[in-house]
Structure formats: C-alpha cells, structure tokens
Amino acid sequence: MRIAIRRGGDGDARAAADLWLASRKAALAAIPAPVHEDDDVRGWFGSHVVGECELWLAEDDAARLVGILVLDDEWVDQLYVDPELTGRGIGSRLLAVAKRERPRGLRLWTFASNTGAQRFYERHGFVAVRRTDGRDNEEGAPDILYEYAGDEVI
C-alpha cells in the first residue's frame, strides 16, 4: 500500500475527527474512553485543530484517510492510525513528518496504560521524562510525558 502524506485543511476536519473517534474506540482495552461526545470532537477538529494547529493526513492509494497527525507547536497533540492498519508503518511515516517539521524536538503525552504507544515512541527516540497520576488530563488517567531531543544542530 502506498501512503501519501499531506497537510489537512477545513474540508478534512470531519474525516480526521471520525478517524480519531474510531481509533480511540478501538483502543479501549489500552486507553480510557473519550470524555466528549462525538459531535463535540468533530467540532473541536473543525475549529481548534484545523484553525490553530497543523493537521497532517496519511492517505492510501484510493485517497482514503488512514492516519492523522496533529502538531501544536512542539507538541505531538494527536497521532492516530486506522485501527485496521496499525503495524504497517503509517504511524512511523507521520512521526517522521513531525520530526521534519520540528527539528528542534518534540513532546507528547501518552497514557500509562498504553504500552504499545510507549514502545512505539521509545523505538523512535522518545524518552519518558515525567509520569503523573492523571489529575491534569480530562480522562483522569495516569500518563507519561515523552520528549524527543530533535536532530537540528544549533
């Protein structure tokens, strides 16, 4: 399968939100359920994600959305792949875009229960720098702050 990655825009917000929702719901064994209603998530993608962040999309040969990346300054705010297509390098390709776009480094949070995500990020050079009990996230679930030092020589 060929994957093309491009910047997302206003017209991509709903499809990106739907992929986020499907991915989160498919991962309920590893992460907490979303705390917002589906339509609220779609609204957040349409207003905040598209308007204030960078939305990147991974699409297959048929231009079907298979992964999303949301960058907010140095933060990997969201990285999700179609749950039927995990393990095929799509997340790695999106993370490579994040590293290219933020050569000075990246930060992200992942749930402590999401050991698969932890292995993925550690494999890509991220280091766990802080653990919390979850009192500061909406889900109230323990989480881990990861950092990637970047490749840019200053």
pLDDT tens-digit map of 6-21:
999 999 999 999 999 9
Radius of gyration of the chain, Cα coordinates, nearest whole angstrom = 15
- Give residue for tokens 């960078």: 54
Coil/strand/helix, residue 131? strand
Q: What is the pTM of this model?
A: 0.93
- Report the pLDDT value the prediction gives residue 151, as an integer from 0 to 100: 79
Percent of the chain topping pLDDT 90: 92
pLDDT digits (tens, 9 = 90+) for 41-95: 999 999 999 999 999 999 999 999 999 999 999 999 999 999 999 999 999 999 9
Stated as kind and residue range, the H or E segment containing 145 is strand 143-148
- Report the pLDDT value the prediction gives residue 47, as an integer from 0 to 100: 94
pLDDT at residue 29 greater than cutoff 90: no
Average confidence score pLDDT of the chain: 95
Alpha-carbon distance 41 to 18, whole Å?
9
Average pLDDT for 29-45: 93
Alpha-carbon distance 111 to 113, whole Å?
5
Alpha-carbon distance 45 to 15, whole Å?
9
pLDDT at residue 105 greater than cutoff 70: yes
Residue 84 CB contacts under 8 Å (≥ 6 apart), including other chains:
none
- Report the pLDDT value the prediction gives residue 153, as an integer from 0 to 100: 56
Coil/strand/helix, residue 42? helix
Strands 4-7 and 54-59: antiparallel
